[in-house]
Structure 1
Amino acid sequence: MKKITMFYLTDCGYCAKAHMALEELMADNTLYQSLEITKIEENEQPSIADQYDYWAVPSFFVDGEKIFEAHIGMTYDDIKENVKKVLDYAIN
Protein backbone atom coordinates (compact mmCIF):
# COMPACT_ATOMS: atom_id res chain seq x y z
CA MET A 1 0.00 0.00 0.00
CA LYS A 2 1.07 3.52 -0.73
CA LYS A 3 1.50 6.41 1.69
CA ILE A 4 -1.10 9.20 1.67
CA THR A 5 -0.32 12.79 2.62
CA MET A 6 -3.22 15.16 3.25
CA PHE A 7 -2.79 18.92 3.48
CA TYR A 8 -5.51 20.90 5.23
CA LEU A 9 -6.31 24.07 7.15
CA THR A 10 -8.09 23.96 10.49
CA ASP A 11 -10.62 26.65 9.55
CA CYS A 12 -11.39 25.29 6.05
CA GLY A 13 -14.92 24.05 5.44
CA TYR A 14 -13.84 21.88 2.53
CA CYS A 15 -11.19 20.30 4.76
CA ALA A 16 -13.80 19.54 7.42
CA LYS A 17 -15.83 17.76 4.73
CA ALA A 18 -12.76 15.77 3.68
CA HIS A 19 -12.10 14.72 7.29
CA MET A 20 -15.74 13.64 7.62
CA ALA A 21 -15.55 11.72 4.34
CA LEU A 22 -12.40 9.93 5.53
CA GLU A 23 -14.14 8.88 8.74
CA GLU A 24 -17.22 7.61 6.89
CA LEU A 25 -15.26 5.75 4.23
CA MET A 26 -13.02 4.08 6.81
CA ALA A 27 -16.04 3.03 8.85
CA ASP A 28 -17.59 1.48 5.74
CA ASN A 29 -14.47 -0.31 4.49
CA THR A 30 -12.02 -1.82 6.97
CA LEU A 31 -9.38 -2.14 4.24
CA TYR A 32 -9.07 1.65 4.24
CA GLN A 33 -8.24 1.57 7.96
CA SER A 34 -4.87 -0.04 7.21
CA LEU A 35 -3.74 2.92 5.07
CA GLU A 36 -1.08 5.25 6.41
CA ILE A 37 -2.35 8.84 6.19
CA THR A 38 -0.17 11.74 7.26
CA LYS A 39 -2.28 14.83 7.89
CA ILE A 40 -0.44 18.13 7.70
CA GLU A 41 -1.97 21.43 8.79
CA GLU A 42 -0.19 23.74 6.37
CA ASN A 43 -0.07 26.74 8.75
CA GLU A 44 1.58 24.60 11.43
CA GLN A 45 4.11 22.96 9.08
CA PRO A 46 4.74 25.41 6.21
CA SER A 47 8.22 24.02 5.50
CA ILE A 48 6.67 20.65 4.60
CA ALA A 49 3.72 22.17 2.71
CA ASP A 50 6.08 24.29 0.62
CA GLN A 51 7.67 21.12 -0.77
CA TYR A 52 4.43 20.12 -2.53
CA ASP A 53 2.76 21.60 -5.61
CA TYR A 54 -0.82 22.58 -4.77
CA TRP A 55 -2.90 25.75 -4.44
CA ALA A 56 -5.98 24.70 -2.48
CA VAL A 57 -6.85 22.49 0.45
CA PRO A 58 -7.66 19.82 1.09
CA SER A 59 -5.05 18.28 -1.16
CA PHE A 60 -4.12 14.61 -1.17
CA PHE A 61 -0.89 13.08 -2.42
CA VAL A 62 -0.15 9.38 -2.78
CA ASP A 63 3.57 8.57 -2.74
CA GLY A 64 4.23 12.20 -3.66
CA GLU A 65 1.80 12.32 -6.59
CA LYS A 66 -1.12 14.73 -6.33
CA ILE A 67 -4.34 12.77 -6.67
CA PHE A 68 -6.93 15.28 -5.44
CA GLU A 69 -7.03 19.03 -4.86
CA ALA A 70 -10.30 20.64 -3.84
CA HIS A 71 -11.75 23.63 -5.62
CA ILE A 72 -14.41 26.21 -4.84
CA GLY A 73 -17.97 24.99 -5.12
CA MET A 74 -17.37 21.33 -4.33
CA THR A 75 -20.19 19.61 -2.47
CA TYR A 76 -19.72 17.06 0.27
CA ASP A 77 -20.55 14.29 -2.20
CA ASP A 78 -17.93 15.61 -4.66
CA ILE A 79 -15.30 15.64 -1.95
CA LYS A 80 -16.24 12.20 -0.63
CA GLU A 81 -16.08 10.72 -4.15
CA ASN A 82 -12.60 12.16 -4.66
CA VAL A 83 -11.37 11.07 -1.23
CA LYS A 84 -12.56 7.56 -2.06
CA LYS A 85 -10.53 7.70 -5.29
CA VAL A 86 -7.46 8.64 -3.24
CA LEU A 87 -7.99 5.72 -0.88
CA ASP A 88 -8.61 3.29 -3.72
CA TYR A 89 -5.52 4.53 -5.54
CA ALA A 90 -3.40 4.03 -2.42
CA ILE A 91 -4.63 0.46 -1.99
CA ASN A 92 -3.87 -0.60 -5.56
Structure 2
Amino acid sequence: MKEVLLFKLTYCPHCMMALRFQEELLAEHPEWRDIPVRVIDEAQEAALADTYDYYYVPTYYVGGEKVHEGHTEKPDVERVFRLAAED
Protein backbone atom coordinates (compact mmCIF):
# COMPACT_ATOMS: atom_id res chain seq x y z
CA MET A 1 0.00 0.00 0.00
CA LYS A 2 1.45 3.34 -1.07
CA GLU A 3 0.78 6.84 0.24
CA VAL A 4 -1.48 9.14 -1.78
CA LEU A 5 -0.46 12.78 -1.81
CA LEU A 6 -2.89 15.38 -3.15
CA PHE A 7 -1.88 18.97 -3.81
CA LYS A 8 -4.83 21.34 -3.94
CA LEU A 9 -5.88 24.94 -3.48
CA THR A 10 -8.62 25.91 -1.04
CA TYR A 11 -10.90 27.66 -3.53
CA CYS A 12 -10.18 25.56 -6.63
CA PRO A 13 -13.45 24.02 -7.92
CA HIS A 14 -11.57 21.12 -9.53
CA CYS A 15 -9.86 20.37 -6.23
CA MET A 16 -13.20 20.35 -4.42
CA MET A 17 -14.56 17.89 -7.00
CA ALA A 18 -11.50 15.67 -6.59
CA LEU A 19 -12.06 15.58 -2.83
CA ARG A 20 -15.74 14.79 -3.34
CA PHE A 21 -14.89 11.93 -5.72
CA GLN A 22 -12.32 10.70 -3.18
CA GLU A 23 -14.95 10.63 -0.40
CA GLU A 24 -17.42 8.78 -2.65
CA LEU A 25 -14.83 6.18 -3.65
CA LEU A 26 -13.73 5.57 -0.07
CA ALA A 27 -17.38 5.00 0.86
CA GLU A 28 -17.79 2.58 -2.07
CA HIS A 29 -14.48 0.76 -1.43
CA PRO A 30 -13.96 0.23 2.31
CA GLU A 31 -10.76 -1.71 1.53
CA TRP A 32 -9.15 1.59 0.45
CA ARG A 33 -9.82 3.37 3.76
CA ASP A 34 -6.46 2.21 5.16
CA ILE A 35 -4.50 3.86 2.33
CA PRO A 36 -2.58 6.78 3.81
CA VAL A 37 -3.72 10.05 2.21
CA ARG A 38 -2.06 13.44 2.73
CA VAL A 39 -3.92 16.46 1.39
CA ILE A 40 -1.63 19.46 1.02
CA ASP A 41 -2.99 22.94 0.41
CA GLU A 42 -0.18 24.37 -1.67
CA ALA A 43 -0.96 27.92 -0.53
CA GLN A 44 -0.40 26.92 3.09
CA GLU A 45 2.60 24.66 2.50
CA ALA A 46 4.35 26.44 -0.37
CA ALA A 47 7.80 25.14 0.63
CA LEU A 48 6.64 21.52 0.31
CA ALA A 49 4.75 22.27 -2.90
CA ASP A 50 7.90 23.75 -4.41
CA THR A 51 9.75 20.44 -4.01
CA TYR A 52 7.33 18.65 -6.38
CA ASP A 53 7.12 19.05 -10.15
CA TYR A 54 3.61 20.06 -11.13
CA TYR A 55 1.88 23.02 -12.74
CA TYR A 56 -1.83 22.55 -12.09
CA VAL A 57 -4.00 21.45 -9.21
CA PRO A 58 -5.36 19.05 -8.23
CA THR A 59 -2.27 16.89 -8.56
CA TYR A 60 -2.06 13.34 -7.21
CA TYR A 61 1.13 11.48 -6.36
CA VAL A 62 1.22 7.80 -5.45
CA GLY A 63 4.35 6.54 -3.76
CA GLY A 64 6.18 9.70 -4.80
CA GLU A 65 5.26 9.40 -8.50
CA LYS A 66 2.94 11.90 -10.19
CA VAL A 67 -0.06 9.99 -11.54
CA HIS A 68 -2.61 12.73 -12.26
CA GLU A 69 -2.58 16.50 -12.73
CA GLY A 70 -5.30 19.01 -13.56
CA HIS A 71 -9.01 18.57 -14.29
CA THR A 72 -10.21 15.46 -12.47
CA GLU A 73 -13.10 13.07 -13.02
CA LYS A 74 -14.14 10.21 -10.75
CA PRO A 75 -12.35 7.54 -12.88
CA ASP A 76 -9.10 9.52 -12.46
CA VAL A 77 -9.37 9.40 -8.67
CA GLU A 78 -10.34 5.73 -8.82
CA ARG A 79 -7.16 5.03 -10.82
CA VAL A 80 -5.12 6.84 -8.15
CA PHE A 81 -6.51 4.63 -5.39
CA ARG A 82 -6.15 1.45 -7.43
CA LEU A 83 -2.46 2.28 -7.94
CA ALA A 84 -2.05 3.02 -4.23
CA ALA A 85 -3.66 -0.29 -3.27
CA GLU A 86 -1.26 -2.33 -5.42
CA ASP A 87 1.40 -4.26 -3.54
Settle same-fold status: TM greater than 0.5.
yes
Give deviations 1:36-83, integer Å, cap 9, x for gaps. Answer: 000000000000000101000000001110001014xxxxxx521101
Taking the aligned partners of 2:32 and 2:70, their CA distance within structure 1 comes to: 21
How many pairs are equivalent?
A: 86
Structure 1: which 5+ runs fail to align? Answer: 72-77
Q: If the length of structure 2 is used for normalisation, what is the TM-score?
A: 0.95
Per-residue CA deviation, residues 10-44 of structure 1 (Å, 9 max, x unaligned), is 00000000000000000000011111000000000
Which residue does the alignment assign to 1:10? 10
Q: Aligned residues: percent identity?
A: 36
CA distance in 1, matches of 2:77, 2:54: 16
Q: CA RMSD of the aligned region, Å?
A: 0.9
TM-score by length of 1: 0.90
The equivalent residue for 1:90 is 84
The letter of the residue matching 1:13 is P
Structure 1: 4+ residue segments shifted above 3 A: none
Aligned equivalent of 1:57: 57
